Amino acid sequence: MHEQSAEPPQPLSDQHPSSSRHHATTAENGPFAFASCSCGWRGPARRSRDRARRDVPEHLASAAADDSSP
């Protein structure tokens, strides 16, 4: 019995969980703060950094919803 497995083991393909594609941070522009993401998204200017930070989870949620739909 000679089994020949011609197929080489497949390497794990690139794993790209949607969350890792979005690296959001907050930045300040003068008196305003805003959230920005590595995907290019930028939140609206807020008067407090705390507010800007709250835009991040909203962006991640909508981005995740976007990714799940074809």
45 binds Zn ion (CB under 5 A): no
Neighbour tally for 60: CB within 10 Å: 17
Quick check: 37 binds Zn ion (CB under 5 A)?
yes
56 counts as binding Zn ion under rule CB under 5 A: no
Q: Which one among 39, 45, 49, 67 touches Zn ion, defined by CB under 5 A?
A: 39
Q: Please, what's the b/e burial string for 39-53 (b: 16 or more CB within 10 A of its CB; e: otherwise)? A: eebebeebeeeebbb
Tokens read off for 17: 């969980």
From the list 6-14, 30-38, 45-53, the region that binds Zn ion by CB under 5 A is: 30-38
> What is the binding site for Zn ion (CB under 5 A)?
22, 37, 39, 41, 63
